[in-house]
């Protein structure tokens, strides 16, 4: 039996950080919390992470900086604000520690940082760690390729009213994968909502529509609308637990990998 994978949780005090650590505590034979990091003014800084997650090890405290040392095979799981990504990735590189990045709202500069880091460490950056969502990515790509240009593609997503970015990283990735399959480009061919005299729908564009309200964990639908029929692929997250489970599954897979930029397709064998 292999040893549990050591994880360093970046964004440990956030909703996803706590959920991921709680799942790791439930399965100590697979994962072990080796560090927990959050912003420097968090009120629980310096306290054992058992204050955040029941049953978590008393020996691990919430810190503002990652550990000075890590064991071989350690994976850092990033669910923190994108602005701090460069600093955290520099630490990953200095430690030779793999990075799983679930941070959303990353811009071109953060994406460049991820690509550069992958030259030195194993990196997996994904807007959604759910296995189900990543299978929908694959299905959407195949549907777009098979249906061809005669089907118009629209994407609708809904999230809770606290969500900061729009569209969601998952909706953006869905648009990217269908545009890759149809020969389009995200910056040129995506259309975010419509208002007023928007004119006729341009052939090849992908519409993206963001809804916000309540406590919705995450709903995503890709609509393929043809002349005479319509196909819809929908994923509805009833619990954020699927994201925690997927993040730990990906971290387990990433542990000990050679440097490179990986995807959830690699984890799932798609």
Active site residues: 159, 163
| CB-based contacts of 232, cutoff 8 Å, min separation 6 | 221, 222, 223, 224
* Residue pair 78/16 in contact by the 8 Å Cβ criterion: no
| CB-based contacts of 40, cutoff 8 Å, min separation 6 | 64
Half-sphere exposure (CA, 13 Å, Cβ side) for 184?
27
d(CA 193, CA 46): 45
* Residue pair 270/135 in contact by the 8 Å Cβ criterion: yes
Residue 217: C-alpha distances to residues 21, 75, 208, 237 (Å): 19, 26, 18, 6
| CB-based contacts of 194, cutoff 8 Å, min separation 6 | 207
3-state secondary structure at position 217? coil
Residue 54: C-alpha distances to residues 14, 29, 79, 144 (Å): 15, 17, 20, 45
């Amino acid at each position: 039996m292999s040893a549990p994978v050591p994880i360093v949780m970046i964004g440990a005090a956030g909703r996803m950080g706590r959920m991921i650590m709680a799942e790791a505590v439930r399965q100590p034979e697979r994962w072990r919390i080796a560090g927990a990091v959050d912003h420097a003014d968090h009120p629980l800084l310096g306290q054992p992470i058992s204050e955040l997650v029941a049953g978590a090890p008393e020996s691990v405290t919430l810190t503002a900086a990652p550990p000075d040392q890590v064991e071989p095979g350690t994976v850092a799981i990033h669910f923190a604000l994108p602005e701090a990504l460069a600093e955290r990735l520099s630490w990953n590189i200095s430690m030779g520690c793999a990075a799983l990045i679930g941070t959303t709202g990353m811009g071109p500069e953060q994406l460049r940082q991820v690509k550069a880091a992958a030259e030195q460490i194993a990196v997996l950056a994904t807007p959604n760690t759910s296995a189900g969502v990543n299978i929908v990515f694959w299905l959407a790509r195949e549907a777009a390729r098979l249906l061809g240009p005669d089907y118009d593609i629209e994407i609708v997503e809904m999230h809770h009213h606290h969500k900061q970015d729009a569209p969601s990283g998952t909706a953006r990735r869905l648009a990217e994968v269908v545009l890759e399959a149809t020969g389009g480009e995200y910056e040129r061919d995506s259309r975010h909502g419509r208002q007023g005299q928007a004119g006729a729908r341009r052939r090849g564009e992908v519409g993206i529509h963001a809804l916000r309200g309540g406590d919705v964990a995450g709903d995503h639908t890709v609509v393929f609308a043809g002349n005479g029929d319509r196909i819809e692929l929908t994923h509805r997250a009833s619990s954020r637990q699927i994201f925690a489970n997927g993040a730990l599954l990906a971290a387990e897979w990433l542990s000990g990998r050679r440097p490179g930029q990986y995807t959830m397709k690699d984890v799932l064998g798609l």
